[in-house]
Structure 1
Amino acid sequence: MAYCTDSEVFAAVKEGTYNALLGEEYIEDVEERKKRLQPLVEEAIEDADAEIDGYLAKRYDVPMSPAPKVLNKFSKDIAVYNLMSRIGIDESDRDKTYLNRYNAAVKFLEGVAKGLIDIGTSETGSSQNQAAQKGFRMEHSERLFSRESMKGY
């Protein structure tokens, strides 16, 4: 299951960019352009989700289903960046927004991987409790002295 949909990625990319993504051939019909871009968008989403899972695998079972809403946002941002980077991103232009969103997504995911950010799933608490239960155990000997046994001394 993907963390975002192809329609969400198409919505995040301006229609004027479709032809640039396809290469030198100009296609007038928007629907035809989208049809030709479909495999590239699907590949960009798969790569984005694999990147996200790479960060999350340290703390969560992946792929996550249902996925927290925040993963949808970052999956879209990374997928759009993956798509746009095919034609090059001009950092001095409006394209820098794609790079900034990608960098924000990576920073967020690094925080999740380090345990600094909780993505709000019930898995976190239970896996941390299970790890704590397995990682720490305390035993003690039977008590030798008590108030009752020391009366009168």
Structure 2
Amino acid sequence: MYCSTQEVRDSVKDDAIGSLIGGDYIDDPEERELKITPLIKSAIEDACGEIDGYLAKRYSVPLQVVPKAINKFAKDIAIYNLFSRIGIDESEREKNYLNRYNAAIRFLENVAKGMIDIGTGGVSDTTRKADTGFSVHSSPRRFSRDSMRGM
């Protein structure tokens, strides 16, 4: 996983939890957490799958070392996934979730194209070396001006 359940939960305001778990206000904080936690875990799994889809073009996935940028975008995508379950109102504060999601996707598309390197090593090291230029290996010369002189 590229982010934790707690990281995503910390990013979701308490007043939004009611609508995310079905619109009913639950007074008991423990019961609220029991209902929202599986939804957050599912949103994170979907986000990680989406991220892996882009990263797999250049890196071995899942990443063993998670760069900060991937952690941030995993949270943004997971939060978007949560709110998209109930519909995102583009005229209100929820538009921010859509904007962050779109930024994450643009970043991941650029990583997949090789325009951004997330610096984790792996498959992309070989690819990156191949993309930086070329080299030619050939047999030594058999004929030269000196060897052909007088013929």
Same topology, TM > 0.5: yes
Please identify, of 7-16 and 23-32, the stretch whose mean Cα deviation from structure 2 is larger: 23-32
Structure 2 gap ranges (5+): none
Matched, 1:43 2:42: yes
State the superposition RMSD in angstroms: 2.3
Give the aligned residue type for 1:48.
A
SS of the residue aligned with 2:32?
helix
Listed one character per residue, the Cα deviations across residues 92-118 of structure 1 (whole Å, up to 9, x for unaligned) are 101110000000000000001111111
Preserved CA contact (<8 Å) 2:47 2:78: yes
Deviations 1:67-90 (A, max 9, x none): 111110000000000001111111
* Gap runs ≥5 in structure 1: none
Separation (CA, whole Å) in 1 of partners of 2:34 and 2:82: 15
- Cα distance in 2 for residues equivalent to 1:32 and 1:114: 44
- SS at 2:45's partner residue? helix
Partner residue in 1 for 2:6: 7
CA contact (8 A) 2:2 2:70 kept: yes
How many corresponding residue pairs? 148
Q: Distance in 2 between matches of 1:83 and 1:117?
A: 27
Aligned to 1:74: 73
TM-score computed with the length of structure 1 as normaliser: 0.86
- Give the % identical residues: 54
The letter for the 1-side match of 2:43 is A
Report the TM-score when normalising by structure 2.
0.87
Letter paired with 1:87: I
